[in-house]
Amino acid sequence: MSYPTAQHTPARPAAWLPDPLDDALVRYWDGQRWTFHTAVRKVAVPAPVATPPARQPVQPALRPDVAAAVDRVRGVLLGSMKEVNLLGGYLGADEQVLALTGAAGEGQGVLVCTNQRLLFLFVGVLRKQFLQIGWNQAKAVIYDRSTRMFLVYVTKPTKRAVPAFAVRVGNLSDAQMVAQAAQAASAAPRLDIV
């Protein structure tokens, strides 16, 4: 009679293996039993995934007349480019920008001369300022060199007359450019630089 023989399980070779009680460790198996020797388990770090470069916000394309006017600015439009980019939404389809410059009203904005009007636009976080005078309303446009103020009157300018709008333009050549464009756009207003 034969007795059943115990099946012999092949022995596992000695090696550092994942600890059966702690996934963060490896434990040494000596080929017959677990030892007390442990080490921190090295986890394969996945290769870094290449992220696409951050996309810059797309600036809206300027209308050709606005872009040409920006190119003619001799001073700086620092702080006014937001308004320049928004300008297309404030202009009529048949309205053409002849000249523009940076100007200060309630904030740093843009003074624009078109074939139909003079306008000033400032868009701040808490407030907005939009001033406009059509050529049929304007009686005088004056740039005062001493105060650097660009003044637009709807009445005859006298000592007591109050301008319809007044903005500060720091660059004399840009103020002259806007005033000359205004003079060319309409024969109605009297334009002076004092």
In the prediction, which pLDDT does 114 show?
Answer: 92
Nearest residue to 118 (alpha-carbon basis) of 188, 194, 193, 179: 179
Phi, psi of 39 (to 5 degrees): -150, 160
Rounded Cα distance, 122 and 130, in Å: 6
In the prediction, which pLDDT does 158 show?
Answer: 87
In the prediction, which pLDDT does 63 show?
Answer: 87
Rounded Cα distance, 93 and 84, in Å: 16
In the prediction, which pLDDT does 123 show?
Answer: 87
Domains contained in the chain, CATH given: 13-44 (no CATH), 64-193 (2.30.29)
Residues of the chain with pLDDT under 50: 188-189
- Which residues is 28 bridged to in the sheet? 16
The answer to whether 120 and 143 have CB atoms below 8 angstroms apart is no
Q: What is the pTM of this model?
A: 0.64
CA 1 to each of CA 4, 97: distance values in angstroms, whole numbers, following the listed order: 10, 113
Nearest residue to 93 (alpha-carbon basis) of 114, 72, 110, 68: 114
